[in-house]
Structure 1
């Protein structure tokens, strides 16, 4: 009869008695029951409430004095432990939002509050704690925001009845606008990946009501590419379903391979001979698998050779790997090692061997200590490595892969000899090739990348580029960079879209990426061209548990950091890089600086000048 509704009489809240059933540091878990007064029916017929609405419930989240300024607190709503919000106090005001990040539905309560920005601890998505709005990649959707107030020393959160059992869920941005048929301006996005899809949504969030067309050569709607090498138990998932594109008037043309951008006529020519006119275009075509010529020819004629750069590739490989006995992976890149870990996790009985001519995989990116720790974790999970050697031949039998031959040198030998290992599946993970053949040559660098300015605009003012193909100048590394990571692509897609509308933001974010290989490894910044590294270690006796942070320096400046088994570190270190708070390398080696001192500086620093007007980012953004 009374369920869990709060009824307020005069200035006193009654109707719910809060019973604390369990509590850990900064976490609440309450059951909600009617108070004795209401159960007895005391005064219900004669008392007149100040308000008594039927469409929401007021929930006491906690006492005000339980909240620590700038610290997130988890509060379960109802009896389902997966149904929770996070509440926080910032500058004296209280806020409440969904408890799970919409990206992969992981809990936000271990996250970090940087001013009004809530940062997901797992993959770095950023939200405005005041509104729930997504403000930084990865992800598409925003958090639900619930009205919160302080009453009689309690933090009271107002939750609509329709949401009370799903407070952890996500919502779409309230800023999205719909298509206006009277607006004939046409923006075209080439590519259905992270940058392209993020750009389309951003255009609508920024008030653009004209025509938006996404051209993708793939046969499905834009999807999440990140799990392609990380999970082989299910197919790729769509970023948005068709109903979203229909509602907001975004046309997605699948199977639309682009042949050429004619920037003289402002038309995009498709391989189907169709021409698509544009007012402005964003090129976000990404990269395809790099397959050595001999393997490409062999793969066309025999079964069992695959790449996994697309959803179609992933589906084909996934249907085969569950029946495989021996899988050989060419290449120890992120994709190759993530695939090795995923195969072994989902199919422990499968023999997995990684072959690579590089004898120190990932060392250039993560530094020696973390790279070796990653390889050790693979070995502990049964993955074999053939490093410093190249595959010489792929053996076949009856039109199918049967083995791989490589050159092997024993310690007591001086000449290499052939060695064959069994293989019924071969995965090619030998790198990627950016897809820019369709771009006017005058916009390309010598390496085929598209040169853009800080607004992600090319020298042609009507053509923008984002994601894997975009070559931009980084204030952090002080040189041209090109980054092939999902979070960077989404952020660049958003910036490019805003600049297609003439809004003027610049791309100045510190890049962030993660990789799952039995360990969760995170990286912020750049490590290319470094001339000094320093590694901070928390020994735990096992490569699967030991925590490490490696700092990368170039010309005396810290340009990047990698972290493994150090929860929350990369969030704070990324902010430190952005704000110029990293110590001199001499301070690290002398042990007068450490992660803890850096984190303390970040805590004491101000959020970005763009919102706080305090000059902390030097006007970059």
Structure 2
């Protein structure tokens, strides 16, 4: 098996993680990496954080340089879109008319920014209206986030709130159009959602509960049309979600639901094809559920798991989801998979800005987060799944190690 040709489609972090882990595990066969973007694989979190702020350069978050891929004898086919998979011939067909043979295929095609689903938002393609998914997107947006610019952020999810914070720190005037009264309440519950809302408001972000119906260009400016009225903007960011890129999987005839359905080893309904990263709806053995996770940590871990599967190791998707965010002076790490219930316990003072959060189902911990308290996330990961009274979780006199 270790001499088979392995082709990876989608040159992002998950793909780069797979390549590195394959070579570390001793796979000596050919590896081809195909990517629609012309860039070497890079990490995406800096696009809404350090790079957008002007602090990071692309080389700071490029996973490996060109010399590394050459030394690992990896064939790069960048700037070339894969358009279909011919499973009978075991070939990936490219937009330039060429075909790439594979022994094993890994689909890591990621997600694309939504512009409104099957019926795109009116005005989504006007000059000055942006999405944020690629390095080019971030470069274009960064040029517009200048002192005094009026920035409208449509959506109040992770990308929207992080960009709002970054734009405000760059001196822009920022309005966030949130479809719910409390941003991210569906993820965290209202208690911490309100904390984030107050953080933004205290830093001068105008957060409005409104649904945007479209964008128009009037007298050289953009006009955001919502059910709460219309407002002028110099630049608009559509941060209304992302959609997994499932087209290749569909051409291959794979089982697809909200993502590519894969087992705990990341194999799809076709034994020669794996799916990883944003597109993988994978069976998590710890949570006993199919999950599709769109975070940095998951891309790295699933890349390593794919390499283990491809080289014959007995490994499975057995870790808890993890993500992090930075907004103004708030830094947070979260681990677990909570129910939509509100926070059940807070250790420390939310007003002080340094605290731990716990979510529970009864007394069973389903998720935990550390806010501006570092080097504790591994311990929080160990606590998830345990049964602990909420009062003990909130008691700072009880060491985390004793829970």
TM-score by length of 1: 0.60
SS of the aligned residue for 1:438 comes to helix
Cα distance change on mapping 1:532 and 1:228 into 2, 3 Å = closer
- Once the two structures are superposed, residues 222-258 of structure 1 have per-residue CA deviations (whole angstroms, 9 ceiling, x without a partner) of 1121111113215533211111111111122111211
Deviation of the 1:356 alpha carbon:
1.8
Q: Aligned to 2:111, which of 287, 290, 297? A: 287
Larger of the two Rg values belongs to structure: 1
Cα distance change on mapping 1:593 and 1:192 into 2, 3 Å = same
| Match of residue 474 from structure 1 | 284
* Alpha-carbon distance between aligned partners in 2 of 1:453 and 1:601, rounded to the nearest angstrom: 36
- Once the two structures are superposed, residues 67-94 of structure 1 have per-residue CA deviations (whole angstroms, 9 ceiling, x without a partner) of xxxxxxxxxxxxxxxxxxxxxxxxxxxx
* Alpha-carbon distance between aligned partners in 2 of 1:334 and 1:461, rounded to the nearest angstrom: 35
Q: Aligned to 1:298, which of 113, 123, 129? A: 123
Is the aligned partner of 1:254 residue 2:78? Answer: yes
Task: Check conservation: 2:214, 2:225, Cα contact below 8 A.
Answer: yes
- Once the two structures are superposed, residues 473-519 of structure 1 have per-residue CA deviations (whole angstroms, 9 ceiling, x without a partner) of 23443322111101111101111111111112112112211001121
TM-score by length of 2: 0.91
Task: Check conservation: 2:175, 2:207, Cα contact below 8 A.
Answer: yes
| Match of residue 229 from structure 1 | 48
Task: Check conservation: 2:191, 2:343, Cα contact below 8 A.
Answer: no
| Match of residue 495 from structure 1 | 305
| Match of residue 371 from structure 2 | 564
Count of residues in Structure 1 that have an aligned counterpart in Structure 2? 394
Is the aligned partner of 1:212 residue 2:28? Answer: no
| Match of residue 223 from structure 2 | 403
* Unmatched tracts of structure 2, length 5 or more: none
SS of the aligned residue for 1:502 comes to coil
Q: Aligned to 1:583, which of 380, 387, 392? A: 387
Q: Aligned to 1:264, which of 73, 88, 95? A: 88
* Alpha-carbon distance between aligned partners in 2 of 1:467 and 1:532, rounded to the nearest angstrom: 28
Q: Which runs of 4+ in 1 moved over 6 A?
A: none
Is the aligned partner of 1:599 residue 2:400? Answer: yes
Cα distance change on mapping 1:401 and 1:215 into 2, 3 Å = farther
SS of the aligned residue for 2:42 comes to coil
Q: Aligned to 1:344, which of 122, 147, 168? A: 168
SS of the aligned residue for 1:574 comes to helix
Where do residues 29-40 of structure 1 align in structure 2 (5 Å cutoff)?
A: none
Is the aligned partner of 1:547 residue 2:358? Answer: no
Task: Give the structure with the larger helix fraction.
Answer: 2
* Alpha-carbon distance between aligned partners in 1 of 2:129 and 2:4, rounded to the nearest angstrom: 45
Task: Check conservation: 2:345, 2:393, Cα contact below 8 A.
Answer: no
Is the aligned partner of 1:317 residue 2:141? Answer: yes
Deviation of the 1:362 alpha carbon:
1.1
| Match of residue 446 from structure 1 | 257
Deviation of the 1:332 alpha carbon:
0.4
SS of the aligned residue for 1:207 comes to coil
SS of the aligned residue for 2:15 comes to helix
Deviation of the 1:532 alpha carbon:
6.3
Superposed CA RMSD in Å reads 2.3
Cα distance change on mapping 1:426 and 1:598 into 2, 3 Å = same
